Structure 1
Amino acid sequence: MVLNDTLDIADEILSRFTFGWTDYSLFVILLIVSVLIGIYFGFFSRQDSTTEYLLAGKTMGAFPVAMSIVASHVSGITLLGIPTEVYEYGSQYIAIVITSLATCLATIYLFLPVFYKLQLTSTFEYLELRFAKPVRNLCSILFVLSLFIYIPIVVYVPALAFSQVSKLNLHFITPVLCTVCILYTSIGGLKAVVWTDTIQFSVTVGGLFAILYLGLKSVGGMAEVWRISDEGGRLVFFNVDPSPFVRVSFWGITISTTFNWLGHTGVNQGAIQRFLSVPKEAQAKTAIILSGIGFILVNVASILTGLIIYSKYADCDPLESKLISASDQLLPHYVMDVAGHIPGLPGLFLAGLVSAALATMSASLNTVSGIIYEDFLQDWLSHSPDDERKAAFIMKIIVVIVGLISIAIVFIVEKLGTIFQIAVSMRSVTDGPLVGLFILGMMVPWANAKGAVIGGYTSLFSLMVLVGGAQYYNVKKHSERLPTSIEGCPYPLNETISLFTTNSTDPTTLHEDPFFPFRISFMHFTIIGTTIVVVVGLIASYFCGEIDLEQVDPDHITPCMRRFLPEKKYRSVPLKDVAASNYVNKFEKQESDKLEKVNVK
């Protein structure tokens, strides 16, 4: 009898947290729309040149470009990771509003003027113009490696969520989702990416706000969410502890995370590629402002979602009660709980979640194809029209190859730890040197090529050691979550656990703290790498020979730093001297013509 009751409880819980046919239908429809967009732009729009494929012929508008930037940035890591972060560690992440504003201002006034003036398809070509070819090659390799690290993480998170609500095997879902993304990205180019991103982002935001409304209604309103979150210690807004060992602080979000975001938008090849796809610089600035607003809205909504989830499960934590096996499954569990009774809505939201991952993956694939072609393959091809068409075809092949490699790496990612922290930590290994080299080039006119190379490699090596040690420590001992409870769970936990969860092993407990650099918060890794590049690069430039500032092209320096360049010196010549010189030159030419005629005779 007890066993039958237990099975009935398990069946009821499973039915509440599993997709219905309406959910599957909406999910599939969105994937089909994405493929059709790629087919349309691939066969009914010109894609026979690198400018058309990578910059959409410079015909895009500010709004779709901004939405594409936001959609590329707002991946499953954001939509799943931030609510989980707030649920477990509090709402300090709300300071991301300041980060977004600072990132937009820095992009508009420091980086965009240089990139838009030069109109370079590859942002790393700038580093060759400013420094030398070895600096460009270093950054190109770093960027490609960062995407190989990032894409599998981005894809794994929503695949894990969809696997949870559909009960399909993760190893089946991942190749299907990646194949769809590879298809429309390789066929359609940037136009397909931008418009698909816009549609997918609209679905994502619509589903997010619908889930927010239902969550508020189920808890009892915003006042109740605020009260429960306050009692549970989740309302944290101004943790101004200056210690770099604090996991998330006000300074870590506002200052350190700004450098993280500059790596994703300010100097990122994918973002700059989109900003250059609009006809005018003013439109690019508008796109940056709109994308900043989009970042704020989505991140605030995600933070609010985390508070609502905590209010919903304050007395019955799904992880502690074994209803989920990983923290990253918290949001899909909550979605099925509050919206499972509305046919199609969970499917719509999860489709948006998966779409966010596909948007990030498609943008990354399109970007990495351009980098590999422009920086490693272009020198092998001439510039005839036939070769332009060949180049566009080669980039499509690159998209397919990189996509297949990413699918394989996804199966390694599932062996790692918490997704949000892993994503920030791993990308900082490459983002730190990249941001530092662009700052060194645009804002430090006194730096030279040797200093840039030494600073870049020093930063890369330092971050590899720092992140590797910190990650090893985190695997051994996870950060302590804020307190949770299971006192209010309405079902017999011990009897139903094994029916619908997988067993998980607890991390090994360390008996002593590691070496102090490995205890630094992962939020600071990128700014540490950036600082190393600038400081070491400037010192190395001084000892390797001072640069002649008169040889520095002002177009390579951000406008606010051009004041440190010497003014171009021109020799003043009176107008009468100019006239006399012109007369002498004319006379000499006439005499030369006469002499030539005599010689011919």
Structure 2
Amino acid sequence: MTKHTNEFSAWDYVVFSLMLCVSAGIGVYHALCGGRQSTSNEYLMADRQMSAFPVGLSLLASFMSAITVLGTPAEIYNYGTMFWWFGLTYLFVCLGAAHLFLPIFYKLQLTSAYEYLEKRFNRAVRLCGTFTFFAQMLLYLGIVIYAPALALNQVTGFTLWGAVWACGIVCTFYCTVGGLKAVIWTDVFQVSVMIAGFIAVIIKGSIDMGGFSNVWDIANKGGRIEFVDFRVDPRVRHSFWSICIGGFFTWIAIYGVNQSQVQRYLSCKTMKDAQIALYFNILGLFIIVSLASMCGLVMYAIYEDCDPYTAGYVSQTDQLMPYLVMDILAAFPGIPGLFVAAMFSGALSTVSSGLNSLAAVLGEDVIKPVFKPTEERYTKISKVVVCSFGLVCIGMAYVASQLGDVLQAALSIFGMIGGPLLGLFMLGMFFPWTNSIGAVCGLFSGLGFSFWVGIGAQFYPPEAQWLNKKDLSTELCNDSFTTLSPFATTMMPTTEEPYSNLAETWYAMSYLWYSGVAVLSTVFFGLLASFISGARDPSELDPELITPLSDILFCCFPSRCRKALRCGVLYDDTTENATSLDYVDTNGSKKTMESQHYQNGTYETAMVVKSFPDSNQAQKTDNNGFDNVGFD
């Protein structure tokens, strides 16, 4: 096997350009239809009228970025199928997000997730969370734009900065003009393109290898089929426990409290729609990780005896997937372009979600409280903010280009910052004793611990026995340039002796535990500081700010037992937080709506319609979108 020299054809550029045009067109459509994005509620929250299906696909696309398209197949190729266990992790992540975090956010009808922190603690805690989120997203989005452009440039000859600018400008354009509706519907289109790209690779690769059953057999002989690593040592890079427990903390920080996801929940018509969208994600995430893993197996079967990375055909493992595409699909004009479109669809969906969420957080947490603009002016400012953040992300791509191999480092940083943020929200929602001093101390303690282990790992990289990297061969490579590949010297230490120094052993911890360590340290030091400075009295807290864990986790227990486990939070057992609101229907009849917010660990809304005599009433709209009134 020799290094291929295939490059993009005219048809590939046409297919890729069509994807960008469709994405931009969706933005233009939503800029011209409906209310034309003239209010902040429509622009940032899609009028809170989205249904479960598009929101579910948007949630799926938001963090299934080009990093997934590039990184997951390379992971399976190099390390085997343990990563596939994430399909189980996503089940618990979506269920946890739907029942532990979503009810609080939806009930309060927030725009920025960090508004919760001010309601629960104070404005200082809210701003700490806000600016931590800014640091997290701006760095991540720059990498999301730059990483796929770099991989494609070195493998396909696709213009590096042309790809960066195309992705950044198109994404910024449709986010600016179309608002959250455009972001959600382009996500629907883009996740479809991502799946089509995966399927094209799997079908063609399987045909070349005589069927997927042969692919599986070859991967099994090469040690890639592995699902039974149950070692409990936290230094094992990917074990069942690190993926299912450590991975849970990593992804619940995204699906539970990240603004990009929370904003989509709150755009749904009802909380039931939002929960259905999350349930739909369980299946969608499993399909995505399965398709990406199958691509990795196909890649191994094709390159079993000639690893392109070890042979020096590519300079980074993240380039293996586009290299495979150009190797097996170049003879079909337009199909490589489809894969590139799939990769950049992942980047566009992530960046657009990030831009919209950054604008919402900056507007609600900084601009509104400080400048108090009118509704019309605030909407215009939000559009300018989206455009500005888009340019900043393109600038961050330039910064990323100067940092060398930053893809894995950026993902680790994303987890290291997301963990403390998750811990901060958990302190507020799950631990009623936490005060504002404890919240701030917990956040910075979590950041300190996670950066300590993450940065230390750069100086004391884990040993080969913990990485569990599989053997690769260049036996059939005809023009191998192994000296170009640094892997053998930098990634595979020859010693099998464990580190004697305790700190070095600590640094060898799998990156999947970073978020878990950050959450535990945030909660521990947050509670410690709270009790030292004077813990909150749970009976004085608004119960709508606290997740009723006892009723959710122990719903089958007698009510007396559940009440004892509520830590003193005063939920109303008699009325179950039910309220009655009088309203006028479209025919002018006076009726009563009974809204039952909390029942058996979930928050539901039920309507009971009753006619009653005419009287003077003043109409308004409640938080769930019902037209309701109060008597004069």
Give TM-score, length-normalised by structure 1.
0.87
Of the three residues 211, 216, 231, the one matched with 2:221 is 231
Question: Any gaps of 5 or more consecutive residues in structure 1?
Answer: 1-5, 571-601
2:105 paired residue number: 115
Deviations 1:348-384 (Å, cap 9, x if unpaired)? Answer: 121111111011000000100111111111113336x
Q: Identify the residue that residue 586 of structure 1 maps to in structure 2.
A: none
SS of the equivalent of 1:486 reads coil
* 2:448 is the counterpart of 1:458: no
Q: Percent identity?
A: 36
Structure-1 residue corresponding to 2:509: 520
For the structure 1 residues 60 and 509, does the alpha-carbon distance in structure 2 shift closer, same or farther, using more than 3 Å as the test?
closer
Bigger mean CA offset, 314-323 vs 478-487: 478-487
Q: Using a 3 Å threshold, how does the CA distance of structure 1 residues 372 and 280 change in structure 2: closer, same or farther?
A: same
Asked whether the equivalents of residues 207 and 352 of structure 1 are also in contact (C-alpha less than 8 Å), the reply is yes
Tell me the residue number matched to 2:323.
333
The reply to whether residue 434 of structure 1 matches residue 415 of structure 2 is no
Aligned AA (2:122)? A
- How far does residue 269 in structure 1 lie from its aligned partner after superposition? 0.9
The 1:254–1:382 alpha-carbon spacing in structure 2 relative to 1, beyond 3 Å, is: same
SS state at 1:515 partner: helix
Which residue of structure 2 lines up, in the alignment, with residue 296 of structure 1? 286
Contact 1:417/1:475, CA 8 A, preserved across alignment: no
1:589 alignment counterpart = none
Q: Given the alignment of the two structures, is residue 555 of structure 1 paired with residue 551 of structure 2, yes or no?
A: no
1:376 counterpart residue number = 366
Aligned counterparts of 1:274 and 1:22: Cα–Cα separation in 2: 35
AA aligned opposite 2:308: P
Q: The residue matched to 2:421 in structure 1 has which SS?
A: helix
CA RMSD of aligned residues (A): 2.6
1:205, 1:371 → 2: CA distance?
Answer: 31
Structure with greater proportional helix content: 1
1:422 is the counterpart of 2:413: no
Letter in 2 for 1:555: E
Instruction: Quote the residue 1:50 is aligned against.
Output: 40
Q: Distance in 2 between matches of 1:21 and 1:518?
A: 48
Q: Amino acid of the residue matched to residue 476 of structure 2?
A: G
Q: 1:456 to 1:329 in 2, by over 3 A?
A: same
Q: What amino acid sits opposite 1:44 in the alignment?
A: C
Q: Which moved more, 1:63-72 or 1:218-227?
A: 218-227
* 2:469 matched residue in structure 1: 481
- 1:105 equivalent in alignment to 2:95: yes
Which secondary structure does the structure 2 equivalent of 1:364 belong to?
helix
Structure 1 segment 13-412 matched on structure 2, within 5 A:
13-14=4-5, 17-45=6-34, 46-382=36-372, 387-412=374-399
Report the alpha carbon displacement of residue 418 of structure 1 after superposing the two structures with TM.
5.6
**Aligned equivalent of 1:468, options 455, 468, 473:** 455
Q: 1:139 to 1:394 in 2, by over 3 A?
A: same
8 Å Cα contact 1:267-1:438 kept in structure 2: yes
Q: Contact 1:327/1:418 (CA < 8 Å) preserved in 2? A: no
Per-residue deviation, 1:169: 3.8
The 2-side partners of 1:47 and 1:30 are apart by: 24
Q: Equivalent residue for 2:612?
A: none
Q: Which has the larger radius of gyration?
A: 1
The separation in 2 between residues aligned to 1:420 and 1:173, in whole angstroms, is: 17
One-letter amino acid of the counterpart of residue 238, structure 2:
V
Change (3 A) 1:230 1:419: farther
- 8 A Cα contact 1:443 1:561, kept in partner: no
Distance 1:306 1:280 in 2: 39
Shift of 1:569: 9.3
Deviation (angstroms), 1:492: 3.3
Gaps of 5+ in 2: 552-562, 574-632
Q: 1:508 to 1:324 in 2, by over 3 A?
A: closer
Q: Give the SS at the match of 1:120.
A: coil
- Tell me which stretches of 4 or more aligned residues in structure 1 moved more than 6 Å: 475-478, 501-505, 508-512
User: Residue 476 of structure 1 contacts residue 507 of structure 1 at CA under 8 Å; is this kept in 2?
Assistant: no
Counterpart CA distance in 2 for 1:531 and 1:480 is 27
Other-structure match for 1:587: none
Work out which structure has the larger RCO, using CA pairs closer than 8 Å and 6 or more positions apart in sequence.
Answer: 1
Q: Secondary structure at the match of 1:446?
A: coil
